[in-house]
Amino acid sequence: MKANTNYIAKLIQKLLRGQETVDERASIEHWRKSDKRNDNLIEDFRDAKNIEQDLNFFADLDEGKAWEKVDGVRHTTKKINYRLFIRIAAVFVLLFGVAIFYLSEKGIHDADSTTAHKALKKDILPAQSGALLLLPDGSVVPLESSVKTLDPKVVIGKTKEMPGEVANEPKENGTEYNTLVVPKGHFYKLNLEDGSQVWVNANSQLKFPVKFDKNERRVVLEGEAYFEVSHEADRPFYVESKGNEVKVLGTHFNINAYNADVRTTLSSGRVQVSHSGEVLFLSPGEYADLVGGRLSKGKADLEHDLSWHNNQFYFKKETIVEIASTLSKWYDIQVKFKQDVALDKVYTGNFKRDVKLSEVLEMLTYVCNLKFELNGKELTIENK
């Protein structure tokens, strides 16, 4: 069917929009029946929502409209939707006679493999569960996939691969702290001794006492973590991060403190956010930002702010530098940019987080019009 790709592409568009004639419907049905993969392709498209918008997006993409600068009057945003993208991409390539792509639940496949895969000399897996626990006596305990609830005597229950326990008696005078260190390329779920649960993102640290005080529960975060705090009305839970303090009794929330700014996003319950005498109260679906030493709040985009916890990459009006920073933490890679890369263009999109690096780069290759080359753990980004 390569000789008729333009014709088939037009028929697919008409079929999806309900604009096909009787003769055209007969032609597309013949094409569908000629190969089971063609039939599967049409059914995948039928499942897609907002098809018109995404078809128009790919038409705009090919026209090469100019991107505007970040400091300009507005940003140009391109939308990537992982599941929808792999369906629409087939129409995109058909329209321009490049090749016929056949789709499966695992992604896009063609006869020669994709440019993104060719550029990867060795693929990289997504982040894995793992961390280091620094005990008060200075010893280090490697952690793998699971922990028991922490208490003052048994800091950590090892997995079957690491049998045994690490004793850690608190001293009578003074509070002692454990520090959970989650390096790049990893994540970790921790159960605290009060029953609270914490999901700690890559390149982050959580400092917590061996035993919580009888009047309060307090931890210190660097990086990003999602908290599900056990309700105790007479013993509030505090999270400190770069001078920002979040006070809760029992709730679900996320804190992102990778950079100089701190964002607290509330999923459920109620929290109090304070900094240098300023105090804000958040209701579910709101965020509090600490920027330049000042607090502000607004309506949160929960899909974006909680995306990492929900196993998604969700980039919203982010530059390739910001996207690369996220990928660097998750895949434990170093990123270099060639001089010809426009660092101020912005992109919006989402796709699964538990995929190999090649799959992420494949999506970005089509949308960002960039070339990615991986050597070891160094990723170089340049214009095509």
The model's pLDDT over 148-195, given as tens digits with 9 standing for 90+, comes to: 444 433 344 333 333 333 334 444 445 789 999 999 999 999 999 899
Return the biggest CA–CA distance within the chain. 87
Average pLDDT over residues 254-266: 95
Note the pLDDT of residue 2: 39
Say if 369 falls within a structural domain: no
Domain that holds residue 53: 2-74+82-96
Say if 252 falls within a structural domain: yes
Domain count, the chain: 2
Average pLDDT over residues 98-120: 35
d(CA 336, CA 126): 20
With a cut of 70, say whether residue 46 has pLDDT above it. Answer: no
| Residue 198 CB contacts under 8 Å (≥ 6 apart), including other chains | 189, 190, 192, 206, 219, 225, 226, 227, 228
Same domain? For 92 and 143 the reply is: no
Note the pLDDT of residue 29: 80
Same domain? For 260 and 144 the reply is: yes
Q: How much of the chain exceeds pLDDT 90, in percent? A: 45
With a cut of 60, say whether residue 248 has pLDDT above it. Answer: yes
Residue 160 is part of a domain; what is its CATH number? Answer: 2.60.120.1440
Reported as type and span, the H/E element at residue 2 is: none
Low-confidence winner among 80-94, 103-117, 251-265 (lowest mean pLDDT) = 103-117
Average pLDDT over residues 237-242: 96
The mean of the pLDDT values for the chain is 74
With a cut of 90, say whether residue 279 has pLDDT above it. Answer: yes
Average pLDDT over residues 316-344: 92
Same domain? For 91 and 208 the reply is: no
Same domain? For 87 and 151 the reply is: no
Average pLDDT over residues 118-128: 73
For the record, the structure tokens of 351 come out as 């796709």
Same domain? For 18 and 135 the reply is: no
Same domain? For 89 and 142 the reply is: no
d(CA 253, CA 243): 18
Say if 370 falls within a structural domain: no
Say if 172 falls within a structural domain: yes
Last residue of a domain, one of 282, 305, 328: 305
Say if 331 falls within a structural domain: no
Low-confidence winner among 43-52, 213-222, 278-287, 325-334 (lowest mean pLDDT) = 43-52
Same domain? For 87 and 135 the reply is: no
Low-confidence winner among 24-28, 188-192, 251-255 (lowest mean pLDDT) = 24-28
